[in-house]
Amino acid sequence: MRTECARQLCNRFAVAMYTIDATASAVRLTTLDPRVVGTPLCRLHADRLAPPVGWLLRDERPTVPGASPGAAATREGDGETNRADVEGLLDARTPLLSRAFRAVSPGEPEHVRSRPAT
């Protein structure tokens, strides 16, 4: 039986799994192994997995099929990448949000006020 990704609303098949070592402040990402207890993830979510700030992510998956996991990557969570992505999403100057908040603020930018209402 194939295992599905544990992420909510994801129906892809799992190819990796992660385990958490709280005492070492580390997240270990490995290939899917039914003998080990861990959380299964599809390739997309495994590649996007980010550890908490100050924790290490030990990616022990082979980099290419058949390669040994000796070249595993280790990276530290800094929180900066995710924060920058969210800040861009929260920019209320996008056209859609400008239309949504057109009548809310009396101090709207000039380019928003000059548009005719639809």
Q: Across the chain, what does the average pLDDT equal?
A: 74
- CA-based R_g, the chain, Å: 21
Backbone dihedral region of 109: left (phi > 0), alpha (psi from -120 to 50 degrees) or beta? beta
Which pLDDT value is given to residue 62? 87
User: CA angle 15-50-77, nearest 5°?
Assistant: 145
Q: What is the pLDDT of residue 98?
A: 60
The CA distance from 2 to 25, in Å, is 30
Tens of pLDDT along the chain (118 residues)?
Answer: 578 999 999 999 999 999 999 999 999 999 988 888 999 999 999 999 999 999 999 999 987 555 444 445 655 665 554 554 555 555 555 566 566 655 555 555 555 555 555 5
pLDDT at 30: 94
Please tell me the predicted confidence (pLDDT) of residue 67.
47
Domain ranges of the chain: 1-78, 91-118
